Amino acid sequence: MENINNKRLFNASCIALVVTAMTFAIRAGILSQLGKDFNLSDRELGFVNQMAFLGFPLATIFGGLLYNVFGPKRLMWLAFTCHILGLLLTIYAGGFWGLLISTFFIGFANGTVEAACNPMIANMFATNQTTMLNRFHVWFPGGIVIGSLVSKFMTDMDMGWQAQIAIMIAPTLLYAYLFFGQVFPKSENIETSTSVNLKNLLTPLYLFMIICMTLTATAELGTQQWVERILGKAGASPMLVLALVTGLMAIGRYFAGPVVHRLNPTGVLWASSIIATLGILMMSMATGGMVYLAAILFAIGVCYFWPTMIGFTAEYIPKTGALGMSLMGGAGMFATSIWQPIIGGWLDKERASALASGLTADEADLIAGQATLDNLAVFPAILIIAFGILFFNRKKLEQRRVAHVGH
């Protein structure tokens, strides 16, 4: 029997997630350059962003349905191909439509990474799923830190957006090298019957969590993707804010084990929704140095959302298998894709209204960003109620989990 190098597979998965995160951060950092070079409005930039968030859920649906047949190995080589194709097409994009197509390929690659790696990690670390998924997802905020600092440095050095896209080819080649020639694990610790997976997708708990996932993802990613446009005139560096937020998220996820053990996943989600709401509301009122303080609160709030939702699915709704985990992530990205042009529209509308009232351009940008943050705060505010219900039913959920494990 061939040896499976769990550590190398886990590390390769983490680097693939770094690439996913860097595409997110660098895209956020170059939005203004893209808007200027191609004469695009914020709403049009929203459609470009939308392609990344739309490609992701389509990939997770595809990958989730075919994981039991293809396995993680084939899915990861598909992710690599789409990453390289998307990055090169972006570099040579000639306008709005070129950006749409190339960004879609990048989004599809990102979704395929999660469709392959989440169930593979849950399978490799069956007795410690939520903790290891949190450690894997350290590298989404970790990659955003890397990407945001790289973007700020290259922008400050007057390096074009094409160079910022090109730099992501290096880690893409690295994760391909680490995966190359490795033996991948068989799906021994997750449900591999697609018919059973599909049946359990229709349970009330899974449908409830899918709806919640659309709100957690939009609260986290909708805010972060527009940080440069929302906070550009707030008296703080948007890319440093993004690096601060995601750096704290990476630290929090790395040490997630004791937090999850003490609070239970339901307690983590409920506390996160409260803190995230307060953080976004504080950012909507803050200027100057206070923006960084508000960003710290926001980071604590959204830190555990994504991996804990995936981990909750693996632990409490295990019969959904790889498909359930993939669709959970896909639902979050699909919802975020829908909201991208809407968020851009909020900025355009509020800016136009502020300019019409006689404010300067900088004042109008500040007002538009603050109003948009007020709108974004609604998403985690709804989750305070939803996750509160989940928390007060945690004993029933734990009984359900134990029954699944015993079965």
Separate counts of helices (H) and strands (E) for the chain:
19, 0
Lowest mean pLDDT among 66-70, 83-87, 354-358: 66-70
Question: For the segment 175-226, what is each residue's pLDDT rounded down to a tens digit?
Answer: 999 999 898 888 776 777 888 888 989 999 999 999 999 999 999 988 887 8
Average pLDDT value for residue range 244-261: 84
Question: For the segment 96-135, what is each residue's pLDDT rounded down to a tens digit?
Answer: 899 999 999 999 999 999 999 988 998 888 777 777 888 8
pTM for the predicted model, two decimal places = 0.79
186 burial type by CB count under 10 A (0-12 exposed, 13-18 middle, 19+ buried): exposed
Rounded Cα distance between 114 and 119, Å, is: 8
Backbone angles phi, psi at 381, to 5 degrees: -65, -40
Question: For the segment 25-42, what is each residue's pLDDT rounded down to a tens digit?
Answer: 898 888 888 888 899 888
65 in helix, strand or coil?
helix
Q: Is the pLDDT of residue 381 over 70?
A: yes
For 72, 105, 211, 289, the CA distances from 278, given in Å and listed in that order, are 39, 35, 21, 17
